[in-house]
Amino acid sequence: MAEAMTEATLAEWMQKLGPRLIALSTGICRDRHRAEEVVQEAFVKLWRSPPDAGEVAYTSWLRRVVTNLSINALQRTRRPGALPEFSTDPAMQRDTPPEESLTAGEDMGRLRAALEQIDDSKRAILMLRACEGLTYEQIAVHLDVPIGTVMSRLNRARAALRDALAELDQGGASPTVFPFRAYRQA
């Protein structure tokens, strides 16, 4: 068992990782209020019984706990809600002309609608890769599966997202996958 964590240290971790963990949880359980509760529960678990290791272990441990708690919350509630509120305003992200900001906002709306249509496990793995920026190796550790499984699951998730986007376009030309990285929180 690791050494007990002080309140000051916990507060630092909450400030450092809280917003990203809330964005991750919101993307999975589709409810901002529930996501905040999930992240709070994860930090309580961290405070009561921190993992044995340093900063990297805390970060990956928290991501794993938040992902699992978010999936559990979604399975319990099964109600539709908003997708992540991570950087949805393109004008806030970069200096762009208004026309480009409008187009990017429309793309984000399409992306949100398409993400609503794919199943929870596919949306979760896309959130880990695209929004959290985890590598295949990190996702494999996070989900406790081989890297090949991560690659195949991501491939299926991307295909499902492409299909959902195409369906939104009413069977139009195959759309390109939206560039998540441009909207990832810093």
Q: Residue 88 in 3-state DSSP? A: coil
| pLDDT of 174 above 50 | no
What is the per-residue pLDDT across 27-72, written as a single tens digit (0 to 9) for each? 888 888 999 999 999 998 888 887 876 666 778 888 889 988 988 8
Q: Which of 11-25, 38-52, 77-91, 124-138 has the lowest mean pLDDT?
A: 77-91
What is the per-residue pLDDT across 94-150, written as a single tens digit (0 to 9) for each? 455 555 544 555 677 788 888 888 888 888 888 888 877 888 888 888 888 898 999
Which residues are within 8 A (CB) of 181 and not within 5 positions of it... i.e. 6 or more apart?
Answer: 130, 133
| Spatial separation of the C-alpha atoms in residues 139 and 153, rounded to whole Å | 11
Which residues are within 8 A (CB) of 84 and not within 5 positions of it... i.e. 6 or more apart?
Answer: 23, 24, 26, 27, 127, 131
Residues in the chain: 186
pTM: 0.54
Q: What is the pLDDT at residue 102? A: 47
Q: What is the pLDDT at residue 66? A: 92
CATH of 99-183 among 1.10.10.10, 1.20.1090.10, 1.20.120.1810, 3.10.290.10: 1.10.10.10
Higher pLDDT, 186 or 139: 139
DSSP code per residue over 18-54: HHHHHHHHHHHHS-HHHHHHHHHHHHHHHHHS--SS-
| Residue ranges of domains in the chain | 7-77, 99-183
Q: What is the pLDDT at residue 185? A: 45
What is the per-residue burial (b if ≥16 Cβ within 10 Å, else e) of 97-115?
A: eeeebeebeebbebbeebb
Domain 7-77 has CATH 1.10.1740: yes
Residue 19: pLDDT band (50, 70, 90) is very high
* 51 φ, ψ (degrees, to nearest 5): -70, 160
Q: What is the pLDDT at residue 106? A: 64
Which residues are within 8 A (CB) of 155 and not within 5 positions of it... i.e. 6 or more apart?
Answer: none
With beta carbons less than 8 A apart as the criterion, state whether 165 and 157 touch: no
